[in-house]
A and B are shown apart, each in its own frame.
Chain A
Amino acid sequence: QKEVEQNSGPLSVPEGAIASLNCTYSDRVSQSFFWYRQYSGKSPELIMSIYSNGDKEDGRFTAQLNKASQYVSLLIRDSQPSDSATYLCAVKADSWGKLQFGAGTQVVVTP
Chain B
Amino acid sequence: GAGVSQSPSNKVTEKGKDVELRCDPISGHTALYWYRQRLGQGLEFLIYFQGNSAPDKSGLPSDRFSAERTGESVSTLTIQRTQQEDSAVYLCASSSLIPGLGGHEQYFGPGTRLTVT
Contacts and interface: CB of A to CB of B under 8 A. Distances in A.
Contacts of B107: 46
B65 interface: no
Nearest to A44: B108
Interface of A: 31-32, 34, 36, 42-46, 49, 51, 88, 90, 92, 95-104
A49 B56 contact: no
16 contacts: A34-B105, A46-B107, A46-B108, A49-B102, A49-B104, A88-B42, A88-B43, A95-B104, A96-B31, A96-B50, A97-B48, A98-B45, A99-B33, A99-B35, A100-B45, A101-B43
Contact of B55 (A42, A51, A97): A97
B56 A43 contact: no
Contacts of A98: 33, 45, 48, 56, 59
A103 B42 contact: yes
A45 B93 CA distance: 11
B70 interface: no
Interface residues of B, number: 25
Given A34-B105, A43-B91, A88-B43, 4 more contacts: A43-B109, A46-B105, A51-B104, A99-B45
Interface of B: 31, 33, 35, 41-43, 45, 48, 50, 55-56, 59, 89, 91, 93, 97, 102, 104-111
Contact of B108 (A43, A92, A97): A43
Contacts of A90: 106
What DSSP secondary structure best describes chain A's contact surface?
loop
Closest 10 pairs (CB-CB, A-B):
A98-B45, A101-B43, A103-B42, A43-B108, A32-B104, A43-B111, A101-B42, A44-B108, A43-B110, A49-B105
A102 B43 CA distance: 8
Contact of B42 (A42, A51, A97, A102): A102
Contacts of A46: 105-108
A101 B55 CA distance: 20
Nearest to B99: A95
A96 B56 CA distance: 11
Contacts of B35: 99, 101
